[in-house]
Amino acid sequence: MKALSAVVHGLPAGELLDLSGAWEDASISGVTDNSRQVSAGFLFVAVPGLTVDGHRFIPQALACGAGAVAGERSRAELELPAGMPYLQVRDARRALAWLAAAFYDFPAHRLRVIGVTGTDGKTTTTNLIYHILRAAGWNAGMISTIYADIAGRIYDTGLHTTTPDAPAVQRYLREMVDAGAQAAVLEVTSHGLAQYRAAACAFDTAVVTNITHEHLDYHGTYEAYFEAKARLFWDLSQSVRKPGIPKISVLNADDEGPFAGLSRIPADMVITYGRRAGADIRAEDVKCTEAGIRFRARTPFGHFDVHSPLVGEYNVHNLLAAIAAALAQGIAPAHVQAGIAGMAGLTGRMERIDRGQPFTVIIDFAHTPNALQKALTTARGMTHGRLTVVFGCAGLRDVQKRPMMGRIAAELADRVILTAEDPRTEDLRAINAQIIAGYRESGRPLDDSLLEIHDRAEAIRTAIRLAEPGDLVLITGKGHERSLCIGTVEYPWSDHEAVERALRELGFAGSS
C-alpha cells in the first residue's frame, strides 16, 4: 500500500486541478487505467481514448473495489460516492505515467536509463545495447516490443503492443531496481511517446535510429510524427539529473532531416554515428555476407574491428548506434566487441528458418517502405535464385505507405504474394488494391508473378510450395507477433508455425 498523498505529490506542477474527498488518510494498492485490472484499493485513472472515454468505466472500477479515482472531468460531472478521493487532472494520460512512477517510488531515478526510438531498427538496437552492457558486466534490464528482460526473467510485452502502458513500464523499472540493476534500456515508440507511456522515465541517453514514413494514420502528418519522436529528446533534456550521469543524445548523421531537428535539442553531449566522414562513430571497410557483418569502427574512443552475426547492410547503422550509445557510457571497446559478437539474430528479424529444405525461408518484421526495401535488398544478396516476398499492409493504419510498398516489392522481388496483415475492419481487397496501384507504378505488368491470397497461412504455403532449389522466400510484416487481427478479434497467429507446417507438408522437419 502507498499513501495517496505521496502519490499525488509526484504529479508535475500544474497537472493537478482539484483534489476532493477523503484523500488525506487514504492509501492505494496500485494504479491502472484499465477497469478490468482494478482490485481492492486501486487508483483508477479515467483516460479519454480515441473511441472510448475511460470516464464511462468509473462505475465498473468502483464495483471492483477502487479506492480512489482520477480523471479530466470535474467531480460535479461524475457520480462518485461521498468521500471517494478524486483527482481532477489536466491530462489523464500524462498523469497516469507520473502517478504510476510515484506509486513505485520513481524507480528510473535509481537507474541509468537509455531510450531508443526511430522508425526502423529500434528493437535490434535496443537489444544490441543491452548485450553490450551485459558483456561489460553491468546488471541491466531491457524493455522492447518483443519482451522485457529483468534479471533473467522474461516477460511477454503483448500482442500488438509497442511500448507497454505506463504502469507496466514503471513496474518493470521497479523490478529492475529491486534486482539490483544499474541500467535500463527501453525501446520507445512514437505511440508510446505521444501517449506518455514513457513519461517519468528520467532518460539519461536518447538514441534515434532513423525517422521515415510510418504511422501517419495516427499522427496525421510527418511533422507530428517527428515531434512525437523528438519528445524522447525533450524528455532527456528536461528530466531529473542523477549524480555523475550526463544527458547524452545519439544521432544518425546520415538521416539528414531528422538530424537537423534533433541536434537543436539541448544535451550535455551529442554523439553522432553514420557512414559519412563527419560522423563521430563511423564504419569503414564494411563487408556484409550471409555469415554476418564486419567493419572497422573509427571512434573518438579508439578504433577497433567489429564482427556481428547479424545480416544485412542496414544493420550497420543499428550497430553504429549501439556502439555510440555504449561508448558514451564509458564502456571499453573490448566489451563493445564482445557484446556485439555475442548477439545472434532476434525473433522475426531476418530470421532464417532451416529445416533442411533446398531453398531459404526468412521471416522479418519489415512493415514500412524503408524496412521492406532493406529486407528485400538484403535477401537479394543472399540468393542466386528467385526471390518471393509475402506481405500485406495493416488495416486502419498508414494508407499512404501501401502504394510505396507495392512499388518497392515490384522493383525488388521476382514474385509477390499479397496477403492479410491485420486487416482489422478494413476490406482486405481494398487494402491490396492500394498496394497493387503502387505495383503498377513500377511499370511491371500484372501477370502470374503477382498473386493475391487473402488467407495468410495459404499465402505462406503457396510461396513455399512454389520455391525451387536456390530460391529465397521472404515473409514480412508480422515477425515476432503472436496474433492476427481480423475484424475486431485478435486471433492466435505465428508466421513461424505457418512456415513449419508448410515445410512439414513437403517433408522437411529437421532441426534448425
What mean pLDDT is reported for the chain?
93
Superfamily of domain 351-505: Mur ligase, C-terminal domain (3.90.190.20)
CA 315 – CA 290 distance, rounded (Å): 13
Alpha helices in 381-512 (DSSP H): 401-412, 428-441, 456-466, 495-505
Averaged over 50-67, what is the pLDDT? 94
Architecture of the domain whose range is 2-99: 3-Layer(aba) Sandwich (3.40)
Instruction: Judge if 2-99 and 107-341 fold alike in CATH terms.
Output: no
Q: Which amino acid is at 381?
A: G
Among residues 502, 485, 361, 490, the alpha carbon closest in space to that of 424 is found at 485
- How is 363-374 classified by DSSP, letter by letter? EE---SHHHHHH
Averaged over 458-483, what is the pLDDT? 96
More confident residue, 189 or 442: 442
% residues pLDDT > 70 (the chain): 97
**pLDDT of 161 above 80:** no
- Per mean pLDDT, which range of 116-120, 160-164, 481-485 is the poorest? 160-164
Superfamily of domain 107-341: Mur-like, catalytic domain (3.40.1190.10)
pTM equals 0.88
Domain residues of the chain, as ranges? 2-99, 107-341, 351-505
Among residues 147, 215, 162, the alpha carbon closest in space to that of 192 is found at 162
CA 41 – CA 233 distance, rounded (Å): 36
Residue 213: per-residue pLDDT? 59
CB 59 within 8 A of CB 79: yes
